[in-house]
Structure 1
Amino acid sequence: MQALQGQKENHPSGRDSADDEKQKPSTLVRRGLIPETRPQRILALATFVNMMGSGVFMVSAALFFTRVVGLPLGQVGLGLGVAAAVGLFAGVPVGHLADRRGSRGVYLWMLVIQGVAMAALVLVQSFWLVLVALCVGELARSAGGAARGPLVRGIGGADLTRYRAYLRSVANLAGSCAAVAAGFAVQYDTRPAYLALVLGNALSFVASAAIVAALPPIPPVPAPQTANPWDAMKDRAYVAVTVLDGIMSIHHQVLLFALPLWIIGHTDAPRWLIGGAALVNTALVVLLQVRASRGVDDSVSAGKAMRRSGAAFFVGMAAMAAAAGLPSWLALIGIVIGVIVHTVGELWHTAGSLELRFSLAPAHAQGQYMGLFGFGAGLANVVAPTVLALLCIAWGAPGWLLLGGVFVVAGLVTPHFVRWAERTRPYAKQPA
Structure 2
Amino acid sequence: MATFVNMIGSGVFMVSAALFFTRVVGLPLTQVGLGMGVAAGVGLFAGVPVGHLADRRGPREVYLWMLVIQGVAMAALVVTQSFWLVLVALCIGELARSAGGAARGPLVRGIGGAQLSSYRAYLRSVANLAGSCAAVAAGFAVQLDTRPAYLTLVLANALSFVASAAIVAALPPLPPVPAPPRANRWEVLKDRAFVAITVLDGIMSIHHQVLLFALPLWIIGHTSAPRWLVGAAALVNTALVVLLQVRASRGVDDSVTAGKAVRRSGVAFFVGMGVMAAAAGLPSWLALASIVVGIFVHTIGELWHTAGSLELRFNLAPAHAQGQYMGLFGFGTGLANMVAPTVLALFCIAWGVPGWLVLGGVFIVVGLVTPYVVRWAERTRPNAEQPA
TM-score by length of 2: 0.99
Kept in 1: contact 2:141–2:150 (CA 8 A): yes
Matched, 1:390 2:343: no
Does residue 1:83 correspond to 2:39, yes or no? yes
Code of the residue aligned with 1:248 in structure 2: it is M
The answer to whether 1:74 aligns with 2:27 is no
Aligned to 2:17: 61
Deviations 1:38-60 (A, max 9, x none): xxxxxxx0000000100000100
Q: Is the 8 A contact 1:229 1:368 kept in 2?
A: no
Superposed displacement of residue 427, structure 1? 2.4
Query: In the alignment, which of 151, 165, 178 is matched to residue 209 of structure 1?
Result: 165
Shift of 1:230: 1.0
Larger Rg: 1
Task: Please state whether the residue corresponding to 2:323 is helix, strand or coil.
Answer: helix
Shift of residue 146 of structure 1?
0.2
2:372 corresponds in structure 1 to: 416
The alignment's C-alpha RMSD in Å is: 0.8
Are 1:321 and 2:277 an aligned pair? yes
Residue 228 of structure 1, CA deviation: 2.8
CA–CA separation in structure 2 for the residues paired with 1:371 and 1:379: 12
Alignment match, 2:314: 358
Does the Cα contact within 8 Å between 2:381 and 2:387 map onto a contact in 1? no
Distance 2:386 2:158 in 1: 38
Establish whether residue 294 from structure 1 lines up as the match of residue 250 from structure 2.
yes
Distance in structure 2 (CA, Å) of the matches to 1:193 and 1:91: 33
Q: Please tell me whether residue 370 in structure 1 is matched to residue 326 in structure 2.
A: yes
Query: Matched residue pairs, number?
Result: 388
Q: How does 1:50-199 map to 2 (within 5 A)?
A: 50-199=6-155
The Cα shift of 1:229 comes to 2.7
The one-letter code of the counterpart of 2:240 is: L
Structure 1 residue aligned with 2:200: 244
Residue 288 of structure 2 is aligned to residue 332 of structure 1: yes
Native 8 Å contact 2:378 2:387 kept in 1: no
Letter in 2 for 1:116: V
Aligned partner of 1:20 in structure 2 is none
Go from structure 1 to structure 2 and tell me whether the alpha carbon gap of 1:416 and 1:431 turns closer, same or farther (over 3 Å shift). closer
* 1:271 partner amino acid: R
In percent, how many aligned pairs have the same letter?
Answer: 87
Give the secondary-structure state (helix, strand or coil) at the position aligned to 2:317. Answer: coil
| Cα shift readout 1:48-95 (whole Å, capped 9, x = no counterpart) | 000010000010011111111111111111111111111000000000
Provide the secondary structure at the position in 1 that maps to 2:261: helix
2:174 alignment partner AA: I
Gaps of 5+ in 2: none
Cα distance in 2 for residues equivalent to 1:377 and 1:253: 12
Q: In the TM superposition, what is the alpha-carbon distance from 1:431 to its structure 2 partner?
A: 7.5
Map 1:16-31 to 2 at 5 A: none
- Give the deviation of 1:430 after TM superposition: 4.9
TM-aligned CA distance change 1:431 to 1:337, over 3 Å: closer
Question: What displacement does 1:429 show?
Answer: 3.0
State how far apart, in whole Å, the 1-side matches of 2:251 and 2:208 are: 23
CA contact (8 A) 1:363 1:430 kept: no
SS in 2 for 1:156: helix
Aligned positions of 1:223-302 closer than 5 A = 223-302=179-258
Secondary structure of residue in 2 paired with 1:227? coil
CA distance in 1, matches of 2:235, 2:374: 34
Q: Equivalent residue for 2:177? A: 221
TM-score (norm 1): 0.89
Give the SS at the match of 1:310: helix
| Distance in 2 (alpha carbons) for counterparts of 1:191 and 1:430 | 55
Determine if contact 1:306/1:414 at 8 Å carries over to the other structure.
yes
Deviation track 1:223-248 (CA, whole Å, cap 9, x = no partner) reads 01122331001100000000000000
Residue 305 of structure 1 corresponds to: 261
